[in-house]
Amino acid sequence: MRTITQMSLATVLLSASVFAQAQTWTLSPSSKISFDIRSAGMSIVNGQFQKYQSQMNFDPAQPNQGSAKFVMDVNSLKLSKNSLKDMVFGDSFFHASKYKTVTFQSNQIRALGNNKYKFDGQLTMRGVTRPVSFDTTLTPNASNPNVLNVQSTTVINRSDFGMRKAIGGIGEKVNIKLEGQWKAN
């Protein structure tokens, strides 16, 4: 009996150490990277990137050694209001004919406890790079140890990235959101 218990414990410890090593993760196709701009509490426009590349190197035991990178295809944006397409893709906002991608590259992942993290890094949009921090929750998927559920958010000022400044600050804030699942490669 003792030998079986020792073997079971060794198997559990070996399994845990394999999961705890740094892994490379990519977002599942069902994940969503989106934004919305609000004014007076109402959503003015919502957009979702249909095409993106993602990679995260992450070890839950050593998150500060991890990294994440996203590259979103601006021309893949799907908007909630097609009537705003010319404005959003035009030179007042994304200037999609000149700037094809939006990129986030982390430079630090900080553990905050209870599966919460800060992903600090650089966001580049319209050729302008600024520091940004994403508030992120990563929770192990109960049915698959190779999946981490993710919710991540940040708020930026659109004029900080060269977009047309909002009149009176109305609609200046852009809420960026990532939700879905990281899958281990």
Q: pLDDT tens-digit profile of 22-54?
A: 799 999 999 999 999 877 666 678 999 999 999
Q: Confirm whether 14 is domain-assigned.
A: no
* DSSP summary character for residue 82: G
For residues 40 and 35, give the distance between their C-alpha atoms in angstroms, rounded to a whole number: 17
Give the pLDDT confidence of 110-125 residue by residue, as tens digits: 999 999 999 999 999 9
Instruction: Give the pLDDT confidence score for residue 84 in this predicted structure.
Output: 86
**What's the domain range around 117?**
21-184
Residue 6 lies inside a defined structural domain of this protein: no
Of 149, 65, 139, whose CA–CA distance to 108 is shortest? 65
Q: What is the CATH number of the domain that holds 106?
A: 2.40.128.110
- Is 2 within the bounds of a domain? no
Number of domains in the chain: 1
Token pair 């397409």: residue: 85
Residue 42 in domain: yes
Contacts of 138 (CB under 8 A, 6+ apart): 58, 60, 115, 117, 148, 149, 150, 182
Q: pLDDT band for position 17 (50/70/90)?
A: very low
What pTM did the predictor assign?
0.85
Specify whether the CB–CB gap between 26 and 70 falls below 8 A: no
Residue 138 lies in a domain: yes
